[in-house]
Amino acid sequence: MKLLQASVCLISLVLVLPSIFAASSSEDFDFFYFVQQWPGSYCDTQKSCCYPTSGKPAADFGIHGLWPNYKDGTYPSNCDDTKPFDSSTISDLVSSMKRNWPTLACPSGSGEAFWEHEWEKHGTCSQSVINQHEYFQTSLGLKQKTNLLGALTKAGINPDGNSYSLESIRGSIKASTGFTPWIECNRDGSGNSQLYQVYLCVDRSASGLIECPVFPHGKCGAQIEFPSF
């Protein structure tokens, strides 16, 4: 009888354990930030920038990354060093990546080092939902779909070095995408607050935009510059 009880116990454990692991791996993050950067604001700081080896990028927002996040504002990073960046898995995307995900860090590079960093720090934490090819393809799709520069220029907000109200910038992106963005500012060489990065939130299955469960911290002025590039 004891033996029977023990084996029933063991069998239930074997049956239950995998579902416990499945539950925890499906709760490994809650949503994504999709982050795009304005190249003019990366380049006009005291630190300056370097154009990629393929030449000066278009005067458009560029992708920074797709970042898994928790609802409490914290985030996982560098989740899997057994899955390094492998450019051969994204060879069909590279020409689009050069245009839409250009690197501006110095020294000049092709972009591979930036993409590798984003995949290894953030992408590896999203593998319960998307693989490496899907990570980059999803990001490219989101860039096209959100068309931030189109949203801003439609509202008369142009990268011309003038200042615009933070409210009008937020409002025009909300009107065009349907979702509230979070705006990150940095400072130009003279110390003026300017539009640097735009955060939009994406549901955990990476299928579309959502309202952000939580916003990052940080502050812009009420009026911020939109520098040219």
Site for ligand 5GP (CB under 6 A): which residue of 104, 183, 198, 209?
104
- Across 196-219, b (16+ Cβ under 10 Å) vs e yields bbbbbbbebebeebeebebeeeee
**Using CB under 6 A, which residues numbered 18 to 77 contact ligand 5GP?**
33, 37, 42, 64-65, 67, 69, 75
Neighbours of 100 (CB within 10 A): 20
Question: If binding is defined by CB under 6 A, does position 216 make contact with ligand 5GP?
Answer: yes
Q: Is 170 in the site for ligand 5GP (CB under 6 A)?
A: no
State how far the Cα of 169 lies from the Cα of 153, in Å rounded to an integer: 10
Look at residue 62 and give its three-state secondary structure: strand
Indicate if 225 belongs to the active site.
no
Q: Which of 203, 196, 195, 155 is nearest to 179 (CA)?
A: 203
- Indicate which residue of 112, 116, 122, 211 is catalytic: 122
Q: How far is the CB of 65 from ligand 5GP (least distance, A)?
A: 5
> CB-wise, 28 or 155, nearer to ligand 5GP?
28
- Which residue, 68 or 137, has its beta carbon nearer to ligand 5GP? 68
Assess whether 217 carries a catalytic annotation.
no
Smallest gap from residue 120 Cβ to ligand 5GP (A): 10
Contacts of 94 (CB under 8 A, 6+ apart): 87
In the chain, what's the furthest Cα-to-Cα distance? 83
Residues of this chain that bind ligand 5GP (CB under 6 A):
33, 37, 42, 64-65, 67, 69, 75, 103-105, 114, 117, 121-122, 216
Catalytic residues: 64, 118, 122
